[in-house]
Every structure is written in structure tokens, then in C-alpha cells.
Chain A
Amino acid sequence: MSVPATQLLRVTRIRAVTDRVREIRLADPDGRPLAGYAPGSHLVVTAGGTRNAYSLTGSGIAPGDYRISVLRTGDDGGSAWLHDVLRAGDLLAVEPPRSAFRPELAARKSFLVAAGIGVTPILSHLAAARAWGRPVEVVYGYRPGEAAHLEEVRQLAGPDLVEAQGRVALADALRERMAVQPWGTHAHACGPAAVLDLFTATARAAGWPPARVHLEHFRAPELSPGRPFTARLRRSGREFPVPSGTSLLEAVLAAGVEVPSMCRQGVCGQCLVPVAAGRVDHRDLVLDEADRLASTHLLACVSRAADTHLELDL
């Protein structure tokens, strides 16, 4: 596996979606067709000095352009750069679309939950469900005046939309709608951590099998810097310290060993490396319970040694 190739795309249009969200449309500068993508895919964008991931909002089927919607989250960083510096006509460096939040083709129905800017991958799922004629229902929770893409969601979803203004209304809507979905429905939610917690708790209470409940974390939970430990690479016999606040991935890369990586938040699953010896503190969102018990692999960007030493089969 290799580091994904970056391509330069032309910004064809920028428009304000809400006061704090702007939509950026991108196309190939030479007019070549863009690669299709699975609903729920994201694009990693080099915004100023940082690499940020943004959900694509289209169906992904033979796309004429790539569209991302960027919420401004501060005065510096990638989102501010995309709001303040980027102009139509500029070239933007992006990595190919990736997906860790695909719809389930075999689902009898898709139950989609969006909250806040979490509407972006949900809009993509909704557009694809309509394009392929798959049954779908959307619950969209938002604060008045801050509902990005509300008109598009209304148009695409039609009668299959429940709007909820504010957290209390959203909790009610989830409780009511998740109790009545047909067997075989898959639920997908994207939003802030508190909404995702509410969503999973509601699903559990309503008896949903965990395999049919899918989350997109648009911001990974804050992780502690972790305790320092010593990493050893079995194949080269090299040993080096991993200080608190430095990830195992960073330490391995600094040692000159190539490991593919992308999100660096324990979400995308790219930096999976084999464990040779030592107990692991798994902190990613990719490996399931069985994977963690077997503990044959770890995601180097977030996971660390549970003790003082960890040996990798690298």
C-alpha cells in the first residue's frame, strides 16, 4: 500500500450555505472526468498547511464535480484558510475520495441521521439512495438558521424526512422513528459526539443489532497524550522511545520506516500494522471487539503500548 496520489483540482465555484458553512466545488483543470466515489466518502484537502478531511455531498455516480461543505471552526487552521484565502479559480491539492462510511447495499432500507454539519455525508447517502431507488428515511437535527443544505435534503427526501429543531426534538424524533423501522434496516448517523451517543443509546434501547448501526465521527474524540514507552521493530531490530504526546506512527515514520497513513485519528484504518509482542492499548474506532482480543494488529496513529514495551512485526 502506498501513500495516495495527490491531484490538483480547480475551484469552480464557492457559495455560502449558511453564515458559517461554505460549499466548494472542484473539477479537473483539464476537463477530465473525476473518479466516482461511494456515498459517505471524504476528500482529504490540503488547506493552507494542514490536511483536513471533508465529506463529499454528491451521490458519487459519474460526478461532474466534487462538492464539499466546510464549517468554519476557528480563526486559524484549515477551515479558516478555506473560508478566508481560497478563491474560485484557485487550484486545490486533494487526495482521492476514500470511504469508511458506505451504505449497506443489502439493507432493506437506509435510516439516515444528520446533526449539524454532519449532514454532509448524509446528503451523499440520500442522493445515492434516490439515484438507485433504494428505500430511505432521514432525520435531520439542526439549530434554526444553521441548517446546511436543508433545501436539498427536503427536495431529495420529500415525505421521507423528519426535521428536528434542537437536541430535545432530535431525541424525540430518534426514539419515535427508530422504534418503527422495518427489520433489515441499516442506520447511519453523522454528527457531534453527543448526538452519536444519543443515536447509539436509542438504537440499543430499541433493540437494533449493533452490526446495523453505523457512525461517522466527523471529529475524533480527544485522546490523552498517553504514557511514554519503547517500541521495537522485530525485522530490523531497531528500538526507539515513543514519548508522551508522540504517536507510534510518528515515531515509526521518524525512524525511516514507511507505513501508509491518512486520517491519523484512528478512523480510516490505513496505518494498520502487525504486532509481534506486548500488550496494546487500542484507541482507534476501526477494530472491533474480536480484533482487539486477538490483538494481532494495531492502528499506529492512535494506539499505544499498554505497558512499557511494544514490539511490531515491521
Chain B
Amino acid sequence: MSDLTRLPWPFAPADRTFRYTVNVEPARRRVETPAGSWGEHVVDLGDDYAEQMALRRDVLARDPGRRQALPHMEPACWDMLLYLLRELVSARPDAMHLADLGSGAFAWRNDLLGIEQSFVLGDAATLPTDPLTWIGCQVPDDILMVSDRGGRLWFDAALVTWAAAWSVKFDIGMHLDEIHGPVPRLNEDGVTSRATRFMRSITTDQTYRRVNWTFSAHGSPRRDISLEVKPEWDADVPQLVRDGDFGRLQLRIELEHLTRLPLTGTLTFNIRTYMAPLAEVVEVPGWGEQLAAIVAELPPDIAGYKGIAPYRDDVVAWLGDATRTAAAA
């Protein structure tokens, strides 16, 4: 059973269509949904925090290349580390403890993972691993770091284990326009340039968020659907479609947090991924019907990019039936 009570439902109540926009809003605001609420904190550990972190360590152990950092990003990784430690404390002050000992020295305790560590900011020898891996194994978010230089935003460091059919190894070192080249209408409609302009204007005292969604390419909440392991998940959804087993199809919601890190001016683009099987989505009043309407209306290019086009009619029909059944029950 996935936890829908904290799901950042990606559509406003009145939405019946979806297009890519620069749909950013200030972060740290609680949003009530028919199933619960979300958004109070920048970091959301979730009920399966320890399990997710074990899964991430496992992915990294099998494929260390999911962590990428260009050499100049070392200070930015420390910057990210301190930022996320403070966000962890803010989200779970009962379980996360950071003591500032002065002169860049800190003591950290994460009760949920049983981590106790003293370190000196910037001194790699004081941590058991590199700073990005160390912090990345304590937050559920994929960590993406973007440098702002020469008028462009460059994807210069990341720790990504839940990529949705993309590869951090392929994208690292590109600028944002290049990365978003394959997304329909994004560059053409000026969305990328407006997003770039927006991100470049972010200052360190502001945090913004954005919600994105798709259907997962895997019919289980298991989240490693990166390009690196495409052979392992490629046949999954076609099989699911052939079986008509749409209740198992996962609505994949990505909650992105954007801010500018204080020490280096690096921009964060951290992504927390939530998965919700359609069988559970339709149980929540209003959600199944709204999702069916939005998927039915998607223009062909967007449906194609999201991978929904081949089974769009089937999933819309299934959502309609299941929603009526759930409402009758």
C-alpha cells in the first residue's frame, strides 16, 4: 500500500487539461488534498524512509556512476550538504540534530538511520564518503545541481537513483536547453528560456517548488527506471497493457524544489518522486475522474513524450470504469 496521504496531487481542483508551463510557486506551504496534505517542508521523508535509503545505497553500490560531479563542484556539494541537513532538521526536529560548533565544524545525528558524524565543512577527510554521496543517502530526493554561468544553466553535479527513463551520465555537463531538447513544446514555446530566466533570478532566501507527473514505465513502485537498466523494465508496461491490468500502473509524481545555495550560488533542482498505483488513485474522491479527463485531452506530442500514447484510450476507459465502481462502493 502506498501512502497517498502525503501525495502532491499535480492538478488544481478545476484542471481538466495539462500543458507544460513554468508552474512554480513558493515552497513550504501546506496543501490539503482529498487524501491528506503535503508541502509543509522542503524535505519529506515519508513512511518508508529507511527502506528507500537502503534501496538508494543498493543502486549506488551496483552503479556508482549515478553520482556525478564535475571537479569544480566540490564546494557546491558541501553547500548542498549543509542546506539539506538544515532542511532535515526543519522537517523532523525530533529525529535530526545539527550542532554548529564554530569555525566550520558541525556535529550531526540522524536518529532514523542511526548516523552520528562530526565533520568540518569543506574537509573531505572528515566524512566517510564524498559529501554528495553522504547527504544523498540521507534524503529521499534525487539531487540535481545547476551552475549559473555565462548566461546559461549547466547541469554540473547530481546524485540520481530514481530517474524516469533518463540517464544522469548522459545529461551531466549539458546546459538546460540541451537537456530539454526532447520535451515537446518546451523550447519552442519559450518555456525553457522563461524557466532559465526564472531560475537565474532566484535568491538564497527563496525556495520554490514545482510538480510534474507521468505514468511510470514500471508497474510497481520500484523506482529504478533509469535508462541504465532499461532492459529490465522495458517490457513491463506493454505486458501490463496486454493484461489490461491498469490498476497496477503507477502515477508518478515528481515534486521539485528550487533554490540558490548560499555559499556558491549553485541552483538546486531536487526531485522527490512519489508513486501511486491507479487502483488506489481511483479510491480518492475526484482524482480518478480528473486524471481520466486530463489524459483523454492530452495533445498527441505530449502523450507521446510521456509514453502514454500507445495505451491512452485503454487507460482512460479503465479510469472511468474504476472511478464509477469506486463511487458506487
Which residues of chain A have a CB within 8 Å of any CB of chain B? 1-2, 4-5, 33, 35-38, 60-62, 64, 96-99, 102, 104-107, 131-132, 211, 269, 272, 288, 290, 297
Q: How far is the CA of A104 from the CA of B204 in the complex (A)?
A: 17
**Residue from A1, A4, A36, A105 in contact with B262 in the complex, judged by beta carbons closer than 8 Å:** A36
Stretch at the interface among B56-64, B131-139, B146-154: B146-154
A99 x B82 contact (CB < 8 A):
no
Within 8 A of A (CB), among B53-93: 70, 72-76, 79, 82
Q: How far is the CA of A4 from the CA of B204 in the complex (A)?
A: 10
Within 8 A of A (CB), among B119-150: 121-122, 147, 149-150
B265 x A99 contact (CB < 8 A):
yes
Given the interface pairs A131-B122, A272-B201, the reply to whether A35 lies near B206 with Cβ below 8 Å is no
B263 x A105 contact (CB < 8 A):
no
A60 x B201 contact (CB < 8 A):
no
A64 x B103 contact (CB < 8 A):
yes
Most-contacted residue by chain A among B79, B106, B122, B203 (CB, 10 A): B203
B22 → chain A, closest Cβ, in Å?
13
B204 x A35 contact (CB < 8 A):
yes
Given the interface pairs A37-B262, A60-B263, the reply to whether A97 lies near B204 with Cβ below 8 Å is yes
Q: How far is the CA of A97 from the CA of B266 in the complex (A)?
A: 15
Which residues of chain B have a CB within 8 Å of any CB of chain A? 70, 72-76, 79, 82, 100, 102-104, 106, 121-122, 147, 149-151, 156, 197, 201, 203-206, 262-266
Residues of A within 8 A of B266 (CB): 105
Residues of B within 8 A of A99 (CB): 204, 265
Q: Is the interface of A mostly helix, strand, loop or mixed?
A: loop
17 contacts between A and B (CB under 8 A): A2-B206, A4-B205, A5-B205, A35-B204, A36-B262, A61-B121, A64-B103, A97-B204, A98-B203, A102-B264, A105-B72, A105-B266, A132-B74, A211-B150, A211-B151, A272-B201, A288-B151
Residues of A within 8 A of B149 (CB): 104-106
Given the interface pairs A35-B262, A132-B122, the reply to whether A105 lies near B103 with Cβ below 8 Å is no
A64 x B264 contact (CB < 8 A):
no
Given the interface pairs A96-B205, A105-B76, the reply to whether A62 lies near B121 with Cβ below 8 Å is yes
Residues of A within 8 A of B262 (CB): 35-38, 60, 97
Beyond A97-B204, A297-B197, 10 additional contacts (C-beta under 8 Å) are A36-B82, A38-B204, A38-B263, A62-B103, A96-B204, A98-B204, A106-B156, A132-B74, A211-B150, A290-B151
Q: Name the residue on B nearest A35 (C-beta).
A: B262
Residues of B within 8 A of A131 (CB): 122
A62 x B147 contact (CB < 8 A):
no
Q: How far is the CA of A64 from the CA of B266 in the complex (A)?
A: 22
Residues of A within 8 A of B103 (CB): 62, 64
B329 → chain A, closest Cβ, in Å?
46
Q: How far is the CA of A265 from the CA of B322 in the complex (A)?
A: 60
B72 x A106 contact (CB < 8 A):
yes
A36 x B76 contact (CB < 8 A):
no
A36 → chain B, closest Cβ, in Å?
4
A188 → chain B, closest Cβ, in Å?
13
Q: How far is the CA of A10 from the CA of B313 in the complex (A)?
A: 65
Q: How far is the CA of A35 from the CA of B261 in the complex (A)?
A: 11
Q: How far is the CA of A53 from the CA of B256 in the complex (A)?
A: 33
Residues of B within 8 A of A35 (CB): 204, 262
Most-contacted residue by chain B among A35, A36, A97, A105 (CB, 10 A): A105
A255 → chain B, closest Cβ, in Å?
23
B201 → chain A, closest Cβ, in Å?
6
Q: How far is the CA of A61 from the CA of B81 in the complex (A)?
A: 13
Residues of A within 8 A of B206 (CB): 1-2
Q: Name the residue on B nearest A107 (C-beta).
A: B72
Q: How far is the CA of A62 from the CA of B83 in the complex (A)?
A: 12
Q: How far is the CA of A197 from the CA of B156 in the complex (A)?
A: 33
A62 x B100 contact (CB < 8 A):
yes
User: Which 5 pairs of residues, A with B, have the shortest CB-CB distance?
Assistant: A102-B265, A106-B72, A36-B262, A105-B72, A62-B104
Given the interface pairs A33-B100, A62-B104, A104-B149, the reply to whether A38 lies near B203 with Cβ below 8 Å is no
